Structure 1
Amino acid sequence: MEQQSIQEIQDEIVDEFSLFDDWMQRYEYMIELGKSLPVIEARYKTEENLIKGCQSKVWVHAELRDGRLYFTADSEAIITKGIIAILVRAFSGQKPADIIGAKTDFIDEIGLKEHLSPTRANGLVSMIKQLKLYAVAYETQMES
Structure 2
Amino acid sequence: MSTRTIDSIIEDFELLDNWDDRYRYLIELGRALPPFPEEARSEATKVQGCASQVWLVSETATAPEGPALAFLGDSDAHIVRGLIAILLALYSGRPAPDILAADPAAVFQRIGLKDHLTPQRSNGLRSMVERIRADARQAVATSAA
Give the TM-score of the pair, scaled to structure 1: 0.89
Paired letter, 2:117: L
What's the counterpart of residue 77 of structure 2? 77
Distance 2:142 2:131 in 1: 17
Distance 1:11 1:129 in 2: 22
Asked whether the 8 Å contact 1:40–1:61 carries over to 2, the reply is: no
Q: CA deviation at 1:39?
A: 2.6
Structure 2, unpaired ranges of 5+: none
What's the counterpart of residue 48 of structure 2? 52
Same amino acid, percent of matched pairs:
38
Name the structure where strand makes up a greater proportion of residues.
2
Q: CA deviation at 1:14?
A: 1.9
What per-residue deviation string (whole Å, max 9, x for no partner) do you get for residues 73-127 of structure 1?
1100000111011101110000011101111201111111211111011111111
Structure 1, unpaired ranges of 5+: 1-8
Cα RMSD over matched residues? 1.2
Q: CA deviation at 1:141?
A: 0.8
SS of structure 2 residue aligned to 1:40: coil
Give the TM-score of the pair, scaled to structure 2: 0.89
What's the counterpart of residue 113 of structure 1? 114
- Map 1:1-144; keep pairs closer than 5 Å: 9-66=5-62, 67-104=67-104, 105-144=106-145
Moved segments of 4+, more than 4 Å: none
SS of structure 1 residue aligned to 2:44: helix
